Structure 1
Amino acid sequence: MAAKQSMIPIVSKAFCSSSEVVLFVRRRPRVVNGGGFVVTDCKQMAIFSVDGCGILGKKEELILRDAHGNPLLLMRRKGGIIEALSMTRQWKGYRNDFLGSQKLVFSLKEPNTSCLSKTNPIRISIESKDYCNNNGNFEIRGDFHDRDCSIVNSRGDAIAQIGVEEEVEQVMTGRDLYHVSIKPGIDQAFVFGVIAVLDYIYDGSTRC
């Protein structure tokens, strides 16, 4: 059933694979404050990259790029008085359409900092009208801070699993290098757009 759902891409069908994919996330050198991270395959070929606030010069804003450096998603945290009074903080993910206009793809809600814990799940909603699926809601289960969590759909099926190999932990911390297993057909660009936001929330390599 998961394969059927994944037939409809969220960002682009170009980033949907017919088989399960394992990709690796490596943060940029520490000397680049808030520089973001790079996503590679098993052959260490770059697939995506994320620019953090140290590169963009803006806090609470991130850009996901493809292997050629083309922007795919802009993630921006919603601000203003309304959010300040709200119990949740919200991020929005946008992509450019063929006319160059920004189109809202997804929104991600996190609990207020004072309430942030493993018992308060982070929820993601697909906002794009191109995603013709009534079950366009996802949730983070587990602990992203320790790189041990999953992105699950509304039926509770894991579409992506984030983890760290034991041998990697002996060489560097899981926050520097970890892997992401993505189920067949799932939009990889969407997954790493979500991961970019999680990285920022948990004081990762994207944050200044």
Structure 2
Amino acid sequence: MDLHEHQRWTSSETEREGFGEHDWRRLLAHLGEDPNRQGLAETPKRVEKAWKHWTSGYQQNPAEILKAFEDGAEQYNELIVVRNIPVYSHCEHHLAPFFGTATIGYTPNGKIIGLSKLTRLVECFSRRLQVQERLTMQVAEALMTHVAPLSVGVVIRCRHMCMESRGIQATGEETVTSALLGEMRNSLGLRSEFLALAKN
């Protein structure tokens, strides 16, 4: 399944409605808990609501998020970089959280977007079941496709709970991924400038 197929796929109405609070109650019982005890009585409802939020990116369209405007853009053709964009997602292998920050940079080509749109773009793709590598590419490709800048750079740094809380239990390790598109891929100077600005 390629990046675009991952974005387009949607479950059937029956599949979406076939899983609910009663299934979370069954999971609690399967884990050896009493889903009726006071501390857990409302947990299925809370978890159902939480997962709707954590996966709300499937209902978002990056094309609508990245509406550009030209006012002032024709006078600016240097690199624009936004750092420390929060990333909260869940890995598709264990449904475990991974979290960190993203840095996004682009060189406008007659169009610019509001800076908050870059944060919303990250939310659009991170609020899905993900792997960090694909998340990085999806953010970069969406920006290149819908804004058509001269260059795009994305760097994401995350800690993965599937590594820290289970398996190898490597506490504190950070995974860094990057995507460079357009002129940034071929221009050493532009690439170096972006990567220098992307450093913590």
Pairwise TM-score range, normalised by the shorter structure:
under 0.3
Q: Which structure has greater strand proportion?
A: 1
TM-score normalised by length of structure 1: 0.25
Higher RCO (CA 8 Å, separation ≥ 6 residues): 1
